[in-house]
Amino acid sequence: MTNKHKLAAFAFLLLYLFLLVRNAWASDDAFITLRVVSNLLHGYGPNWNSAERVQVFTHPLWMMALIPFYIVIRNPFFALYAAGVVFSAAAVFFLLYKISPSPWSASIAVTLLLASKAFMDYSTSGLENPLSHLLALVFVWAFLFLETSVHRRLFFLTLLIALSMLNRLDTVLLFLPALLLELSRALREGRKTLGALFWGGFPILVWEVFSIFYYGFPFPNTYYAKLTTGISQASLFQQGGYYFQNSLTWDHVTLPVIGLALVLAVFFGERKRRSLALGIALYLFYILSIGGDFMSGRFFSTPYIMALALSFSLPFFWKIKDSPLFSLALIGLILFAGLTSLTPPILIQMEEDNGIIDSRGIADEKVAYFYCCGLLNQWDHGTTLKIIEDARQANDQNIPLVLRESIGIYGYYAGPEVYILDKVCLSDPLRARLPVFGSWRIGHFRRHYPVGYVETIEDGFVNHIREPHLHEYYDRLLLVTRGDLFSWQRVQTILQFNLGAYDGLIEDYMRSKDWEIP
């Protein structure tokens, strides 16, 4: 990298950071994780409701990354802002200094980042996206450019995948084709392959062992709440199509750039780059298959940054990297597309907005929260939000049980002693395993309340569920989530749960229809 390139990259990085700070915000979902961090640091364990072992966060690595920010900064909003800015800055630094081939390409890269609503919206927010962005970029660089022995590279790539899975399990799909290609090369060169895979994958193996032992299950409770709903696959594909359509309507940069990167990789790339493109396509299909998300663009930010890295690595791009005229024309086109998107990040506003949600339940989540939870508005609002006042009042009055749908900010400020029953089951270990009823909004799936369930919680978890099959099921679930951590009976029950031995009890309960509709 020349001095001219370094200077240009530094200038563009400063521009990105300026606009990133202006766009910094915190989502309600981020506070779900932050309550777990607070409980952990105060001796309650990595739990949502104290003394109930339920994994409510999807991103263990991000949860652990938030801990030092929270310890040092203490203010929950600013801890979330700082974590997002630090990891996003690291990701963009890596893109500009390690992957973009010239000063002109660096200018194009920053323009593409600033114009992407999905990328800018979720470069902060308090969610795990910034760390996913960084890990994806390092993986692309290591896969394409790292010069070392095949087994060392396999170990490093596997380690990056394991960390990315620890940050969000489904991101493995982004890297799977590339890993299989690297594995096919390593298998031809001897016995070290299994060792590289084992030690590289060690972080996610350790977490899964811990998760099964501590929480009782290999997946977070949000997996059961959002992906085991009983909704038909056809309906989910349809909703997923709406998610893509929403992005194309509200964000004129992200999906078109991803699509262009895939086309360029097919026509101008060799096997390695095509395998990366296949991983991105595989992940996009996964997003389609699960119905997308209620946060517009959230699931597209990581494939977007990976698509940019793939594009800038192509020989095709190196041929045009020294063309100022082409670069300026491309920058102008990108800016036009970005500025015609809905609520473009470059023109972020601070005034109040009630949020935007389309007819399919997909929301511009940053707009919905920016007025109350944006960094630029924090000095005006601080901790004077009504939801925070209500939560502190519940704590002061020792209210034992609260039913809520948006549980993050409220749950954090209510403290560990207030048990929060989540209407959409993100933190509810029992109802998350029941089928969805009636109409639904993607990411917000309500279940019935079994007769006697609320009374059970109010009575200190003495089981009052009336229907006998679910009563038995919940007795066993209580042993997992609240029983003696080291009891052999609990270990046996965990094994039975994960082998599906108790699924029939749920089916018998559903046939009984012994429930209350909220």
User: CB within 8 A of 11, min separation 6: which ones?
Assistant: none
Q: Is 166:64 a contact under the CB 8 Å cutoff? A: no
Q: Are residues 169 and 318 in the same domain?
A: yes
Write phi, then psi, for 294 (nearest 5 degrees): -85, -15
Q: Are residues 290 and 401 in the same domain?
A: no
Q: Are residues 147 and 273 in the same domain?
A: yes
CA distance 41 to 79: 15
Please determine, for residue 272, whether its predicted confidence score (pLDDT) is greater than 60.
Answer: yes
Last residue of a domain, one of 318, 347, 376: 347
Instruction: Determine the average pLDDT of the residues in 136-148.
Output: 95
Percent of the chain at pLDDT above 70? 95
Is residue 366 situated within a structural domain? Answer: no
Q: Is 391:371 a contact under the CB 8 Å cutoff? A: no
Instruction: Determine the average pLDDT of the residues in 93-106.
Output: 85
pLDDT of residue 136: 98
Query: Which stretch, 128-142, 177-191, 399-413, has highest mean pLDDT?
Result: 128-142
Q: Is 132:164 a contact under the CB 8 Å cutoff? A: yes
Structure tokens at 40: 């952990």
pLDDT of residue 319: 60
DSSP string, 312-374: HHSHHHHHHTT-HHHHHHHHHHHHHHHHTSSS-GGG---S----EE-TTS-EEHHHHHHHHHB
CA distance 466 to 343: 50
| Residue matched to tokens 């298998």 | 187
Is residue 377 situated within a structural domain? Answer: no
Q: Are residues 179 and 324 in the same domain?
A: yes
How would residue 349 be classed by pLDDT, with cut points 50, 70 and 90? confident
Last residue of a domain, one of 300, 316, 347: 347
Is residue 204 situated within a structural domain? Answer: yes
Cα 221 from chain centroid?
14
- Residue numbers of the domain that contains 259: 3-347
Residue with more model confidence, 75 or 324: 75
How many folded domains does the chain comprise?
Answer: 2
Is residue 58 situated within a structural domain? Answer: yes
Instruction: Determine the average pLDDT of the residues in 1-25.
Output: 86
Please determine, for residue 224, whether its predicted confidence score (pLDDT) is greater than 70.
Answer: yes
Q: How high does pLDDT run on average in the chain?
A: 92
CA distance 258 to 265: 11
Write out pLDDT tens, residues 168-218.
999 999 999 999 999 998 887 666 888 999 999 999 999 999 999 999 999
Is residue 368 situated within a structural domain? Answer: no
Please determine, for residue 93, whether its predicted confidence score (pLDDT) is greater than 80.
Answer: yes
CA distance 158 to 172: 10
pLDDT of residue 250: 97
Give the residues across from 419 on adjacent strands.
401
Q: Are residues 504 and 433 in the same domain?
A: yes
pLDDT of residue 1: 63
Last residue of a domain, one of 291, 326, 347: 347
pLDDT of residue 426: 95
Q: Are residues 212 and 301 in the same domain?
A: yes
Range in 99-108, 114-123, 166-175 with the lowest mean pLDDT = 99-108
Q: Are residues 69 and 146 in the same domain?
A: yes
> pTM (2 decimals)?
0.95
pLDDT of residue 348: 85
Please determine, for residue 317, whether its predicted confidence score (pLDDT) is greater than 70.
Answer: no
Is residue 380 situated within a structural domain? Answer: no
Q: Are residues 336 and 428 in the same domain?
A: no
Is residue 367 situated within a structural domain? Answer: no
pLDDT of residue 86: 98
Q: Are residues 216 and 335 in the same domain?
A: yes
Residue with more model confidence, 33 or 348: 33
Q: Are residues 329 and 402 in the same domain?
A: no
Please determine, for residue 485, whether its predicted confidence score (pLDDT) is greater than 80.
Answer: yes
Range in 53-62, 228-237, 371-380, 449-458 with the lowest mean pLDDT = 371-380
3-state SS of 197-247 is HHHHCHHHHHHHHHHHHHCCCCCCHHHHHHHCCCCCHHHHHHHHHHHHHHH
Measuring CA to CA, how many Å separate 475 from each of 384, 447, 490? 41, 19, 11
SS3 462: coil
pLDDT of residue 32: 97
The amino acid sitting at 318 is W
Q: Are residues 108 and 40 in the same domain?
A: yes
Is residue 71 situated within a structural domain? Answer: yes
Q: Are residues 197 and 86 in the same domain?
A: yes
pLDDT of residue 515: 81
pLDDT of residue 517: 67
